[in-house]
């Protein structure tokens, strides 16, 4: 019987900036690391070999799924951890990992995933059995979701949540090269999977990042058109609504109908609630905005376990505290206003605007 139980699988290309951090984070948890390199010309492969990884060359063919599946084909463990070079696994007790992987009734585990620094987490399918039926599909934003669920159904196995947490670091810095690469891949994938809302949302993100707001708007409107035809809604279907509302607001165009529609479709979405509250405040409806900001500021972002959706954690503190302070000031309730400017300053102590407004409100209170 092989002594390799847990294999880490990843694909890389020019990841010398992140790779050592990733490998350091998993070295005491997995039994082997399998890396498929799609054409690095920096120190990526050298770093991988320094950590004892098994490195395989795979010429880039414009298909993320095929590269990921090549990595899976070379894994010898009974279980797979799918992770990227620009991600880190948070410290976890190896005995806990051994315990969950010894459960014969499970086919996969979801982990808590933070897609961007400062954002809340949602669950992703990152641990699954090494089974040839479980393979990725899709040239970009590839998914293993359907394969895992098919095997779970066929073999009467369960999918469970686990306590592992992964942080994604790759959205920091200049993303222009990723946007350029992604546009053509996304368009090809949309032709193959025209009903997938997420792809059209991502196309809009890439086009916006490349300085094409008109193209982004069209992609998001196409995504919303698909949402309106869906019988069942997924939380991530809210993404094109938020981004097109933000785009329309930036260009000073009316977005009231889209906001109203999104509120009806996604009444529990925190970002939609925050957007609505901000709209009310800017429309001088301060009394109506207050309870929404109060509600958001009462939520501990660490407790938010979104389903396929992450939120900027600041909407639960600073980005609600400052509007609360403003609303209370406009309503002449200076004590509450001073309280929330102080809280906003605690989270962003170098913000000159917060400092000035807090000083003003404090001075007004001292005159009373």
Residue 306 is predicted with a pLDDT of 66
- What does the pLDDT read at residue 39? 96
The pLDDT assigned to 2 comes to 66
Query: For 301-312, how does the pLDDT look when each residue is reduced to its tens digit (9 = 90+)?
Result: 998 876 679 999
CATH code of the region 176-263:
1.25.40.10
Thinking of the domain 268-368, which architecture would CATH place it in?
Alpha Horseshoe (1.25)
CATH architecture of 6-168: Alpha-Beta Complex (3.90)
Q: Using DSSP, state whether 160 is helix, strand or coil.
A: strand
**What pLDDT, on a 0 to 100 scale, did the predictor assign at position 3?**
86
Residue 238 tokens read as 């809210």
Distance (Å) of CA 42 to CA 15, 50, 272 = 8, 14, 42
Asked if 301 and 281 count as a contact pair (C-beta separation under 8 A), the reply is no
Neighbouring C-alpha atoms within 13 Å toward the C-beta of 144: 30
pLDDT score at 1: 43
Q: How far is CA 190 from CA 137, 187, 209, 356, in A?
A: 13, 5, 19, 49
Q: For the chain, what is the largest distance between any 2 Cα atoms, rounded to a whole number of angstroms?
A: 80
- 368 residues of the chain, pLDDT tens digit each: 468 999 999 999 999 999 999 999 999 999 999 999 999 999 999 999 999 999 999 999 999 999 999 999 999 999 999 999 999 999 999 999 999 999 999 999 999 999 999 999 999 999 999 999 999 999 999 999 999 999 999 999 999 999 999 999 987 666 788 899 999 999 999 999 999 999 999 999 999 999 999 999 999 999 999 999 999 999 999 999 999 999 999 999 999 999 999 999 999 999 999 999 999 999 999 999 999 999 999 999 998 876 679 999 999 999 999 999 999 999 999 999 999 999 999 999 999 999 999 999 999 999 87
Q: Is 65 helix (H, G, I), strand (E, B) or coil?
A: helix
Q: What is the pTM of this model?
A: 0.90
pLDDT value for 322? 98
Domain boundaries, the chain: 6-168, 176-263, 268-368
- Please indicate whether the domains covering 6-168 and 176-263 agree at the CATH topology level: no
Over residues 10-21, the pLDDT tens digits come to 999 999 999 999
DSSP state of 296: H
CB atoms within 10 A of CB 48: 26
Sign of the C-alpha dihedral, residues 210, 113, 116, 71?
negative
What is the pLDDT, as a whole number, of residue 188? 93
End-to-end CA, the chain: 80
């Amino acid at each position: 019987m092989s002594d390799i139980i847990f294999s880490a699988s990843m694909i890389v290309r020019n990841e010398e900036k992140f790779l050592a951090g990733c490998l350091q984070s998993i070295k005491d948890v997995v039994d082997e690391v399998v890396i498929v390199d799609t054409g690095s010309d920096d120190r990526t492969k050298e770093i991988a070999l320094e950590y004892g990884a098994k490195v395989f060359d795979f010429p880039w063919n414009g298909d993320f799924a095929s590269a990921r599946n090549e990595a899976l084909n070379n894994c010898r463990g009974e279980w797979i951890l799918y992770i990227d070079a620009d991600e880190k696994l948070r410290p976890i007790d190896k005995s806990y990992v051994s315990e969950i992987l010894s459960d014969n009734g499970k086919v996969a585990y979801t982990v808590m995933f933070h897609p961007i620094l400062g954002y809340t987490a949602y669950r992703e399918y990152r641990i699954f059995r090494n089974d040839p039926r479980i393979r990725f599909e899709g040239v970009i934003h590839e998914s293993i979701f359907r394969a895992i669920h098919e095997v779970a159904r066929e073999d009467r196995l369960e999918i469970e949540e686990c306590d592992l947490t992964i942080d994604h670091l790759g959205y920091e810095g200049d993303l222009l090269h990723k946007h350029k690469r992604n546009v053509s891949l996304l368009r090809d994938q949309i032709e193959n999977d025209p009903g997938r809302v997420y792809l059209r949302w991502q196309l809009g993100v890439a086009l916006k990042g490349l300085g094409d707001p008109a193209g982004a708007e069209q992609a998001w409107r196409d995504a919303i058109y698909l949402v309106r035809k869906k019988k069942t809604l997924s939380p991530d279907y809210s993404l094109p609504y938020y981004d097109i509302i933000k785009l329309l607001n930036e260009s000073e165009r009316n977005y009231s109908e889209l906001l109203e529609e999104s509120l009806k479709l996604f009444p529990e979405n925190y970002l939609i609630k925050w957007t609505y509250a901000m709209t009310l405040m800017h429309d001088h409806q301060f009394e109506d905005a207050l309870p929404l900001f109060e509600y958001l500021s009462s939520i501990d972002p660490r407790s938010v376990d979104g389903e396929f959706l992450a939120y900027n954690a600041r909407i639960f503190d600073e980005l609600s505290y400052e509007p609360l302070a403003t609303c209370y000031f406009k309503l002449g309730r200076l004590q509450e206003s001073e309280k929330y400017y102080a809280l906003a300053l605690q989270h962003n102590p170098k913000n000159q605007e917060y400092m000035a407004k807090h000083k003003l409100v404090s001075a007004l209170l001292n005159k009373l």
